[in-house]
């Protein structure tokens, strides 16, 4: 299997660039989810939706 992968992925620059793009996207997503202003309150409100009886969550 590794011999096949070495034949297919011969351009290490593109492989490294793809890895860096993926890692950067992952980090930006984590920062956006956890560090946004008001994110904690929003996620707490969404977590209480199943417990609300007929209330509409904003």
Q: How far apart are CA 55 and CA 35, in angstroms?
A: 27
Largest CA distance in the chain: 59
Averaged pLDDT in 10-residue chunks for the chain of 58 residues: 76 88 96 86 85 67
Q: How far apart are CA 49 and CA 43, in angstroms?
A: 10
Beta carbons of 58 and 41 less than 8 angstroms apart: no
What's the pLDDT at 1?
67
Q: How far apart are CA 38 and CA 34, in angstroms?
A: 9
What's the pLDDT at 56?
62
What's the pLDDT at 14?
85
What's the pLDDT at 57?
56
What's the pLDDT at 58?
57
Tokens 């590794």 — which residue? Answer: 2
């Amino acid at each position: 299997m590794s011999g096949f992968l070495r034949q297919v992925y011969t351009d290490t620059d593109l492989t490294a660039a793809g890895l860096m793009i993926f890692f950067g996207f992952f980090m930006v997503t984590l920062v956006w989810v956890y560090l946004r202003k008001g994110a904690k309150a929003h996620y707490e409100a969404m977590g209480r939706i199943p417990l609300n009886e007929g209330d509409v969550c904003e």
